[in-house]
Chain A
């Protein structure tokens, strides 16, 4: 039987993979995808806790509602983010992250 710890471990590893992707890849699209991975990792751990925390024979649906919201927000974020990337690409003709460095003091 899988225990909660196993699910949490998997979630953590997934998060780490996503974080590694953010740090180590240079193409902004890939970085974005890695960002999505991180969000999903969070979702997984939430669902795990929802299943674990049982009230009156039912899983705790608060967590599942939260996951629902996260999915929605992530979708919206992807939409807007990709729009931004498209605008950037039209301006700078590159997706290489080191060339996108105007956001500084």
Chain B
């Protein structure tokens, strides 16, 4: 049995455990421990990369007919994901050494980070639903710990709660889906399921519902509409956390899972349509919302939402490989964007409003150039990474569902638009505040990771590189209309951004609908309040009328009533006595003579 996957998986766990138990006061040691663990994982991921496909598992719980297995599956999907997760993870760990340098809770932070790595790698390596679900929940917990790292801030604590609760809702659907699959097929192992699922002869309705319930898990974890509300609030966590969890890895877990179990969806056109349109709606709404946000991290968060929507819609179009390819490239440039934003925030002393930035080109050159590369990659500028992966999705859309191609093009237009807006306002133009005036470049421990991430953003899309990872990427002749459309929207969006935002000191556009995120948060708050009020009302009613009135006062009242009635037997009124007597006699007569 190959020990490498187990080492990959458990090294971070070991680090987390050691930090949590032993080295919490020794902050420097803790942080190095965590970084070392990730480095080890990365090293072994590279080793595994070269090895052949395997699927190994052993019994964890064995009760005769009921078994839960734990194991790993190494195939092209998991090798790629291992590379991304541990690679980007390593870069971010190193960056965190600099970013969190002055933070008092450093040990806790790195323990959380290592726990997260453990959980995420577990999802990647899982070869059955149960194991994946366990690690799925673990990732949610790690995310809660990390988002709420600065827990003394009420907004951070609330954001952590929100993330966990919304995730939980998605996970509930996920669990129901797993149960449906399990009960229908008797197994949860992916390899067995992929061969068995279509031969089971289940009704179309059953497969659709099972697939949609499993999709619920992705809706929660990858922040699709309507469970997208937790992601923007999750920006309350430290920026490296946002980079790792909410750009590159955790949110991608949903897409990864969908790609893994795509065989569940491939038979059900209805489920695929739902997946497609939820992805598109998420993507479009998020892109629109991003055009009006002023917080740099929020803009990036909505951008993440939008790209995730694109990935999910790629699954819905039936091309999971294209989705994973976009995930691959997106991990790099999104992480770079977040780390760059973190660099800016750090040097401007925690200023996050883009209208307070500006004129950073000379003062923070490395950050500037790497951010530019990432922006262009995200917007879809050829020959950077984003262009290739987005083009893959657009091509698939043209082929399978032209209406969706139109929507995707619109989304890409807006993507270019808001990224240009962000770049222009945050980096170019005059310095708009004191902080911006005194900005300086970040220390090397932070800028080196930026450079390291910039390289894949440049080249990861090129066919040479992508073929290393994705042997099934469409290598057929590229579709000319798709490329033309992609180029067109890129240029159009960028130019529009330039036109509107060049040299401006405040936002010329003001669209409250987008700025208030389509009031979805308010809607949810109202919904929760309404539910709670109704339930409280019902409980109050039950308590007041049924328990209090019916039972308590009823019992008392009945006793009192009986007493009142029985009093008449003793009043002293002779005629009353006679009456009762006569009545009794009549009754007796009746009973004796007629009823016996």
Given contacts A19-B582, A23-B579, A23-B582, contact A97 B572 (CB under 8 A): no
In the complex, the answer to whether B574 meets A23 with C-beta atoms within 8 Å is no
Q: In the complex, what residue of chain B is closest to A24 when comparing beta carbons?
A: B575
Interchain Cβ contacts within 8 Å, total number: 29
In the complex, the answer to whether B574 meets A100 with C-beta atoms within 8 Å is yes
Complex CA–CA separation, A104 to B576 (angstroms): 12
Q: Does A58 contact B (CB under 8 A)?
A: no
Q: Does B573 contact A (CB under 8 A)?
A: yes
In the complex, the answer to whether B582 meets A105 with C-beta atoms within 8 Å is no
Distance of B585 from chain A, by nearest CB (Å):
9
In the complex, the answer to whether A101 meets B570 with C-beta atoms within 8 Å is no
Complex CA–CA separation, A33 to B574 (angstroms): 15
Q: Does A42 contact B (CB under 8 A)?
A: no
In the complex, the answer to whether B582 meets A101 with C-beta atoms within 8 Å is no
Complex CA–CA separation, A22 to B571 (angstroms): 17
Complex CA–CA separation, A51 to B571 (angstroms): 44
CB neighbours (8 Å) of A97 from chain B are: 573-575
Q: Does B578 contact A (CB under 8 A)?
A: yes
CB neighbours (8 Å) of A22 from chain B are: 575, 578, 582
B574 touches which one: A19, A24, A101 (CB < 8 A)? A101
Question: Which residues of chain B from 537 to 596 have a CB within 8 Å of any chain A CB?
Answer: 570-575, 578-579, 582
Question: Which residues of chain A from 41 to 58 have a CB within 8 Å of any chain B CB?
Answer: none
CB neighbours (8 Å) of A104 from chain B are: 570-572
Question: Which residues of chain A from 72 to 105 have a CB within 8 Å of any chain B CB?
Answer: 97-98, 100-105
CB neighbours (8 Å) of B573 from chain A are: 97-98, 101
Beyond the given A23-B575, A31-B574, could you list 18 further A-B residue pairs with CB under 8 A, ordered by the A residue number? A19-B582, A22-B575, A22-B578, A22-B582, A23-B579, A24-B575, A26-B575, A31-B575, A97-B574, A98-B573, A98-B575, A100-B574, A101-B571, A101-B572, A103-B572, A103-B574, A104-B572, A105-B570
Residue-by-residue, is B166-201 near A (CB-CB < 8 Å gives 1, otherwise 0)? 000000000000000000000000000000000000
Complex CA–CA separation, A39 to B424 (angstroms): 120
Q: In the complex, what residue of chain B is closest to A100 when comparing beta carbons?
A: B574
In the complex, the answer to whether A23 meets B578 with C-beta atoms within 8 Å is yes
CB neighbours (8 Å) of B578 from chain A are: 22-23
CB neighbours (8 Å) of B572 from chain A are: 101-104
Complex CA–CA separation, A50 to B135 (angstroms): 103
Complex CA–CA separation, A101 to B574 (angstroms): 7
Q: In the complex, what residue of chain B is closest to A101 when comparing beta carbons?
A: B572
Q: In the complex, what residue of chain B is closest to A103 when comparing beta carbons?
A: B572
CB neighbours (8 Å) of B574 from chain A are: 31, 97, 100-101, 103
Question: Which residues of chain A from 5 to 47 have a CB within 8 Å of any chain B CB?
Answer: 19, 22-24, 26, 31
Distance of A42 from chain B, by nearest CB (Å):
13
**A-B CB proximity, top 10 nearest:** A104-B572, A101-B572, A105-B570, A22-B578, A104-B570, A97-B574, A23-B579, A23-B578, A101-B573, A103-B572
